[in-house]
Amino acid sequence: MTDHDSLIATAHALADAAREAVRPWFRRPGLEADNKLSAGFDPVTEGDRAAERAMRAVLAEMRPDDTIIGEEFGRTEGRSGISWVLDPIDGTRGFLSGTPTWGVLIAASDASGPIFGVIDQPYIKERFWGGLGQAQMDGPFGPRPLNVLGSRPLLDAIVFTTFPEVGSAAEGQGFHDVASKCRLTRYGMDCYAYALLAAGQIDLVIEAGLSNYDVQAPIAVIQAAGGLVTDWQGGPAHEGGRILAAAGAEQHAEALKILSNVPLD
Strands (E), 94-240: 103-110, 113-121, 126-131, 134-138, 144-145, 158-161, 184-187, 204-210, 228-230
**Phi and psi, residue 8, nearest 5°:** -65, -45
What is the chain's length? 265
Query: Please, how many CA atoms are within 13 Å of residue 123, restricted to the half-sphere of its CB?
Result: 16
Closest CA to 108 of 14, 226, 1, 242: 14
Annotated binding-site residues for Mg(2+) read 71, 87, 89-90, 214
Hey, what domains does the chain have and what are their CATH numbers?
A: 3-145 (3.30.540.10), 154-260 (3.40.190.80)
Which residue ranges make up the annotated binding site?
71, 87, 89-90, 214
pLDDT class of 41 with cuts at 50, 70, 90? low
| Residue 243 main-chain phi, psi, to 5 deg | -120, 135
CA–CA separation, 8 and 51 (whole Å)? 19
Q: With a cut of 90, say whether residue 224 has pLDDT above it.
A: yes
Q: How confident is the model at residue 264 (pLDDT cuts 50, 70, 90)?
A: confident
Judge whether 136 and 129 are in contact, CB under 8 Å: yes
- Kindly state the average pLDDT of the residues 123-151: 97
Q: Parallel, antiparallel, or unpaired for β 228-230 and 241-246?
A: antiparallel
